[in-house]
Amino acid sequence: MGGEMGFYLALAAMAAASYACRVAGYLLMGWVPITPRLEAALKAMPLGVMVGIVTPAASSGRAPELLGLVAVAVVMRLSGKDVIAAVVGAAVVALARRFLA
């Protein structure tokens, strides 16, 4: 039980830290004037996060990841919706891993 208790305490501490970071960011942004430059940076942040997630997988050069990257590019070009493109890309990678590997 001691090992399990340590796990649950660590999990609770990480959850509290994550929640505190989110709340602090939300509260602190109430004091920051939103300039056009800051607004542009905030709008670009999701793209930066996605690039950071996708780049290691895409640079591996394996077929499922490359097919997913192509699918994302095509769906983004056709729909212009990043969430739809991300979901389609993840589905293509999952299906390609299932049937190609």
Residue with tokens 């699918």: 71
Q: Phi/psi zone of residue 61: left (φ > 0), alpha (ψ -120 to 50 degrees), beta?
A: left
What is the radius of gyration, based on Cα positions, of the chain? 19
Global pTM value: 0.58
What is the model's pLDDT at position 84?
Answer: 93
CA angle 64, 69, 74 (to 5 degrees): 125
Closest CA to 29 of 19, 42, 17: 42
pLDDT tens track for 38-86: 999 888 888 888 788 888 888 887 889 899 989 999 999 999 888 899 8
